């Protein structure tokens, strides 16, 4: 079995770039266009993971472990964020019986 970086290097770097850019763009578009808070939340996760993939790829190609360490940080933070975020969404749902963000426009004036 080859080392993990070697496995990663079997795919050209450009592919990772295209892939994670596409993934990130999907995430952004999702956040912008969807109204369901859970979907928006998932799109945010998508964006985070797009970055993660890119970091892992670059870390392997440049033989710099820092990138992968960062990925772990991001995963940990994301996990914490999910906990808090989902809790907020549950609370919103309890209050307005919906997770539609368009209905949540109290945050003004």
Alpha-carbon Rg for the chain, nearest whole angstrom, is 18
Cβ 19 to another protein shortest distance, Å: 20
Q: How far apart are CA 42 and CA 81, in angstroms?
A: 12
Q: CB-wise, 47 or 60, nearer to another protein?
A: 47
> Rule CB under 8 A: is residue 107 a binding residue for another protein?
yes
Q: Which of residues 24-53 bind another protein (CB under 8 A)?
A: 28, 31-32, 35
Q: CB-wise, 94 or 108, nearer to another protein?
A: 108
- Contacts with another protein by CB under 8 A: the residue count is 12
Q: CB-wise, 37 or 60, nearer to another protein?
A: 37
> Rule CB under 8 A: is residue 95 a binding residue for another protein?
no
Residue with tokens 């266009």: 33
Q: Classify residue 11 by its DSSP letter.
A: S
8 A C-beta contact, residue 35 and residue 100? yes
Residue 2 token pair: 């080859």
5 CB neighbour count, 10 Å cutoff: 16
**Under the rule (CB under 8 A), what is the footprint of another protein?**
28, 31-32, 35, 101-102, 104-109
């Amino acid at each position: 079995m080859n080392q993990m970086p070697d496995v990663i290097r079997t795919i050209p770097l450009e592919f990772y770039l295209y892939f994670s850019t596409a993934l990130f763009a999907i995430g952004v578009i999702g956040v912008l266009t969807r109204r369901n808070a859970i979907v928006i939340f998932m799109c945010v996760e998508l964006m985070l993971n797009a970055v993660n993939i890119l970091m892992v790829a670059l870390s392997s190609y440049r033989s710099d472990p820092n990138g992968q360490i960062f990925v772990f940080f991001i995963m940990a933070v994301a996990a914490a964020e999910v906990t808090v975020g989902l809790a907020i969404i549950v609370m919103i749902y309890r209050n307005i019986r919906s997770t539609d963000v368009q209905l949540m426009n109290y945050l003004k004036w």
